[in-house]
Structure 1
């Protein structure tokens, strides 16, 4: 049996993109990622496919804690055509890392720092957002509410010293 990848047809890209979005919503980000790779193989600069690809990779981090896709995520973000999108999706990646850390007892202390970095991206994105696009504001508010609800605080100097001694 031939185990080579098959190219999709350019005419089917929109349908494939719909399928990738559907698999993300079904919590099957690996399949969404694969579909996006098929699209990007045909149209390497397809902005919609890049966005779904980035989100599918971050879904995998959020679900499994896998650290491996971060280099792929950074490469994909760099291919986004607008500075706004690059900053906004960098914020998404940082926020998802923070939210995953909240689920891990030993990493919970670092979640605050990632939320703060995400907030910095959202604040920057808000300043350059397209008209009538409040997605950065919505993400900002969600992060702030999570920090407040979880009572997250920056690590104290004592905590940082203790952690550096342990490693």
Structure 2
């Protein structure tokens, strides 16, 4: 076909710098950069300090009440639980703070958080809980099961003067 002036039409020249080619090269460059860019090294969270199972007496347990950045421990029927993850409840200022660093068995059995539920004489024999009725024992067992499922057992509680008791 000829043009109106009688000359043959010239072929359109495609430029490498056309807008579509520039977009495609840019997308390709971004993909290559994303693939080979320096990766931020993965950081492994710091492990919590190792907890060694140990024997406590009421006097040695008392220091683990959550004050001065110490962990929060409490005992139930002779087993000592690390309740530090529940510091808001069991630590200073929490509703159960009376039990921190103490044997909480009687208070949990009675569903009472009063200080009267705690043994005042830390040198006395451990509370044998023999005077508890069936409902109170059931309450205590429920608490003990919850603690066992949720918290780490870090030791056992023994009375002062027992051969395996640590020196306070």
The TM-score with structure 1 as length reference comes to: 0.20
**Greater fraction of residues in strand:** 2
Structure number with greater CO (CA < 8 Å, separation at least 6) is 2
The TM-score with structure 2 as length reference comes to: 0.20
